[in-house]
Amino acid sequence: MTASCGACERELEHGYLCPGDVLALAERLERMPKLYEALAGFLTPAAAGATEAVSHSHAGSRMPVDEAALDLRYGGIALVLESWRADVQRARGWGAPAAEGTVEGRVLRAARWLGMNLEWIAASYPAAGDLAREVREVEGAALSIVGAFPDRGRRIGQCVAVDASGVVCGATIRHQRGQTRLVCDWCGCKYEERDFLRLARLQPEGAA
């Protein structure tokens, strides 16, 4: 049997979602309740800043940001997650889930439920790719309002600088996209791009 990933069309031996897209979806579902929470801070136009007052998801309609945030908070996110949950339950031959309680609780429960059923979804649910895409879209819409998750950068390893007494610094060095030079926050040691590999090689065993 030949198959392909419903999200990226990569060929698969079986199933409907490739491991990379399963992971991305799992992470999005895990972040969703936090994102939902973050939207609360953007319900009034003042909070969003005057220059960012037009939402990307309603480009052209000149809708103020608070309405887009409102859409996502009161309905949008919960409805998207719940309708997918309902369809997965239907596909598994289970009854319809109840949508009750606060919207916040509904987002949390639906995201968690989908996360716990990802293995089955990836293996046996033909619409898995559409589910992954729609979760990505709703996350994109929310992120266009609240801004990106803070990027802490990729962890390169520990600072290998040695001080006068022979002690290794050991502070964590992170790399943010586009950075060509890293400075250790702790000891101030500088690493140029050509040193990155050396830094990786000099890592103490089991640390990377």
**In this complex, which beta carbon is closest to Zn ion, that of residue 86 or of residue 168?**
168
Contact status: 18 vs Zn ion (CB under 5 A): yes
State the Cα–Cα distance between residues 85 and 88, nearest whole angstrom: 5
Count of CA atoms in the C-beta half-sphere (13 A) of 167: 5
Q: Which of 97, 93, 104 has its CA nearest to residue 82?
A: 97
Contact status: 118 vs Zn ion (CB under 5 A): no
Q: Which amino acid is at 118?
A: L
CB 13 within 8 A of CB 21: no
Contact status: 168 vs Zn ion (CB under 5 A): no
Partnered with residue 54 across adjacent β-strands are 64
State the Cα–Cα distance between residues 168 and 181, nearest whole angstrom: 20
- Among 103, 113, 187, 195, which residue interacts with Zn ion (rule: CB under 5 A)? 187
Closest approach of Zn ion to the CB of residue 148, in Å: 22
Contact status: 169 vs Zn ion (CB under 5 A): yes
Contact status: 66 vs Zn ion (CB under 5 A): no
Contact status: 5 vs Zn ion (CB under 5 A): yes
Closest approach of Zn ion to the CB of residue 29, in Å: 16
Contact status: 24 vs Zn ion (CB under 5 A): no
Contact status: 91 vs Zn ion (CB under 5 A): no
Candidate ranges 14-22, 44-52, 62-70, 119-127; the one touching Zn ion (CB under 5 A) = 14-22
| Virtual torsion, Cα 149, 153, 157, 163, nearest 10 deg | -110
Candidate ranges 12-20, 38-46, 89-97, 135-143; the one touching Zn ion (CB under 5 A) = 12-20
- Among 65, 161, 182, 199, which residue interacts with Zn ion (rule: CB under 5 A)? 161
Contact status: 25 vs Zn ion (CB under 5 A): no
Judged on CB neighbours under 10 Å (0-12, 13-18, 19+), 152 is exposed
Q: Which of residues 44-63 bind Zn ion (CB under 5 A)?
A: none
Contact status: 189 vs Zn ion (CB under 5 A): yes
Judged on CB neighbours under 10 Å (0-12, 13-18, 19+), 115 is middle
State the Cα–Cα distance between residues 22 and 2, nearest whole angstrom: 18
3-class state of residue 147 by DSSP = coil
Which residues contact Zn ion by CB under 5 A?
5, 7-8, 10, 18, 21, 159, 161, 169, 171, 184, 186-187, 189
